[in-house]
Amino acid sequence: MNGVVLIGHGSLHSDSGASMIRLAARLRERGVAPIAEAGFLNFSRPTIAEAVAKCVAAGATSVTVQPYFLIDGVYVQQDLPVDIAKVAAQFPDLTIRVAACLGFHEKLATIALERVQTVDPEPNTSNGTQAALLVMAHGTPLEYANEPVRRMTAWLHEKTRYSLAAAAYLDCNKPRIADAVDDLAAQGARKIVALPYFLHRGRHLRQDLPQLLAAARQRHPALTILEAPHLDYDLRLADVITDRLNEQLP
């Protein structure tokens, strides 16, 4: 019997992983995986080892690890394999597979579009205002791994038809979010809809992004900056996860 373990980053804010834990329950309810648990790389419990141990105790003879990450960055490519190797040593008879990260998926893009429309219900009509879309992501120093963010930005730009669009990063990559806001303003934007392209409401969403946007509003008092909700919980994320799992399972 195959079990599934969703693996997220984890946060000092203990409630930030609640959406992922709920999605593990949805996978069980839908019959996608009769055994499905959630675990974290850092800060939060259960750990990967604890989540896998629960699957084994429930009867799993194999486990598919689903990275609950938007991109295939350092955490997925470097940290996760180390943890999986440790788990494999604890359970030598267990077959462990690793699915692809969420990446770009049209259902994920549809969720992102709806988050934009939450604060700007009719993005196709700017009413004479030069409007811009800013997709704010964490970023990774593995440059090629940021491609899903760029692809998401292009997809949203096409659907919303804002005059301008940019992807920007909190860390590790350029343009930085502050620089992207300044650049959009320099290009004539009078309104920016900023989408936090994040799954969890951890420190970055609670502290870093609000501070960056507050500073941007001070630098550009004539600029309207609307902050959309982050991705958070949505049943369609279970569909995205199901597709990634099906790509991995034999």
What are the residue ranges spanned by the domains of the chain?
A: 2-103+233-248, 106-227
**Domain range 2-103+233-248, CATH class:** alpha beta
Rounded mean pLDDT, 158-185: 94
Residues with a known catalytic role: 9
Rounded mean pLDDT, 94-115: 96
pLDDT surpassing 80 at residue 9: no
Looking at residue 12, its pLDDT comes to 43
Tell me if domain 2-103+233-248 and domain 106-227 are identical in fold: yes
Indicate the pLDDT class of residue 124, thresholds 50, 70 and 90. Answer: low
Looking at residue 43, its pLDDT comes to 55
In whole angstroms, what is the distance from residue 81 CA to residue 76 CA? 7
Looking at residue 75, its pLDDT comes to 87
Rounded mean pLDDT, 60-66: 95
pLDDT surpassing 90 at residue 207: no
pLDDT surpassing 90 at residue 106: yes
Looking at residue 61, its pLDDT comes to 95
Tokens of 188: 């004539």
Looking at residue 245, its pLDDT comes to 95
Low-confidence winner among 46-50, 117-121, 168-172 (lowest mean pLDDT): 168-172
pLDDT surpassing 70 at residue 142: yes
Q: Is 68 in contact with 20 (CB distance < 8 Å)?
A: yes
Longest dimension (CA), the chain: 64
Q: Between these two residues, 43 and 235, which has the higher pLDDT value?
A: 235
Q: Domain 106-227 carries which CATH code?
A: 3.40.50.1400
Beta-ladder partners of 4: 36, 64
Phi, psi (deg, nearest 5) at residue 133: -110, 130
